[in-house]
Amino acid sequence: MGSITNTTQNTRAFRRKETSYEGEERESAKEGGMRIHRRAVAMTAAVAVALAAVSCGMSDSRPVAGKQPTTGYGTRPLTEQDKDLLHDAEESLTRSCMASRGFKMWVVPRKPLPEDREFPYVIDDVPWASAHGYGSDIRTRRDQLRVSDPNRRYFDGLSPMERERALDALHGEPSARRLEARTPDGMTLGRVDGGCTALAQKRLYGDLAAWFRVTTVTDALNKIRYSQVTADTDYADSIRKWSACMRERGSLYADPHEARAVFLDPDKAVPRVREIHTAVTEAECAISSGLSDTARRLDRRYGERLRHEYADEVLTRRRLEAAALERSRSTVRNERDQPDQPAEKRRKEQ
């Protein structure tokens, strides 16, 4: 269903490519975008071209020594502040690593547009809808950020040969050792264990193979949970009530997916006032029809079931993230205190 998604990984100049065991490549557009639903949850960077996931200036890939997380700390989900810290640490480490190999990288924020929100099932925030409609204004600003992204511009300015060298430095050469992990639906994904991205993640999370395995599984649970919620009869009943509410107010849409598809079609120009009016109506009907409460209740129910079913992967991920948070604080602090140095000088210090 519809979602106004966060720009995770922000304005990436290149798209990551995910590879299945059979070798098929699937583009994972982590550029954000006003997607109807984040149907393809990006799980891994394999041979990739994902510009701006930056990571690592170090002579080895061992975890940074630091205080271990307290008991129970690793059992809680990450806060938004935690996610920002982990993102900044990985980006900072990658930037240092790329500099040591003669290339430039810029750290970009995880969420450059804080108002870019996700509504997996239905927009149910009336003030947000009043300001952004279905988010076409945010999409425009995101496109502007993508065009002006310094990483994209830098890579575009490299010669084909230098760009290939930079991508190998970032993600590792294709001949490097490969890691594989299986998704809950049985697909095997792979990534290269090499390059600055891998080194940075090793530095933060310690065990890259374990990190790749648990993120492959847990990231896929979002799509599974969404499918389970939307297949539930309670959800279907609430959708019918929502549609009736919309019809009474002059908007003929069978479900929220159909409604926003009209306003987020890049090939169709729709008056801004109509977009906002319809989005506000959607939000008000989501509340009055009970769809918002139903979706939230079902999302919580199926989420708990999936976390129980995949408890090993969920808890392992939280444990690795908790340890990485401790390392990230010192990493970000050290990177901010360290002035930029020429690549040649950095190489000598490695």
Neighbours of 42 (CB within 10 A): 19
Q: What is the pLDDT of residues 26-61, one digit of tens each?
A: 333 333 333 333 333 333 333 233 333 323 333 333
pTM of the model: 0.74
Helix H or strand E encompassing 288: helix 272-288
Mean pLDDT of 243-262: 95
Asked if pLDDT for residue 235 goes beyond 60, the answer is yes
User: Burial, 196: exposed, middle or buried (Cβ in 10 Å; 0-12, 13-18, 19+)?
Assistant: buried
Q: Quote the pLDDT of residue 75.
A: 67
Asked if pLDDT for residue 230 goes beyond 90, the answer is yes
Share of the chain above pLDDT 70, in %: 74
CB hemisphere CA count around 69 (13 angstroms): 19
Mean pLDDT of 123-129: 98
What residues have CB less than 8 Å from 281, skipping those under 6 apart?
A: 246, 249, 251
Mean pLDDT of 273-290: 98
> Please, what's the b/e burial string for 308-322 (b: 16 or more CB within 10 A of its CB; e: otherwise)?
eebeebbebbbbbbb
Mean pLDDT of 188-193: 94
Angle between helices 291-309 and 311-337 (to 10 degrees): 100
The rounded mean pLDDT for the chain is 80
Q: Quote the pLDDT of residue 158.
A: 97
Q: Which of 5-19, 79-93, 324-338 has the lowest mean pLDDT?
A: 5-19
What residues have CB less than 8 Å from 163, skipping those under 6 apart?
A: 155
Instruction: Give the pLDDT band of residue 97 (cuts 50, 70, 90).
Output: very high
Asked if pLDDT for residue 346 goes beyond 60, the answer is no
Asked if pLDDT for residue 314 goes beyond 50, the answer is yes
Asked if pLDDT for residue 251 goes beyond 80, the answer is yes
Mean pLDDT of 4-26: 35
Q: Quote the pLDDT of residue 11.
A: 31
Q: Quote the pLDDT of residue 267.
A: 82
Q: What does the domain layout of the chain look like in residue ranges?
A: 16-220+320-338
Q: Which residue has the higher pLDDT, 278 or 70?
A: 278
Asked if pLDDT for residue 19 goes beyond 50, the answer is no
Token pair recorded at residue 198: 């891998």
Q: Which residue has the higher pLDDT, 15 or 121?
A: 121
Mean pLDDT of 208-236: 97
Distances (CA, A) of 155 to 8, 197, 223: 20, 16, 32
Q: Which of 49-53, 98-102, 192-196, 236-240 has the lowest mean pLDDT?
A: 49-53
Helix H or strand E encompassing 181: strand 178-182
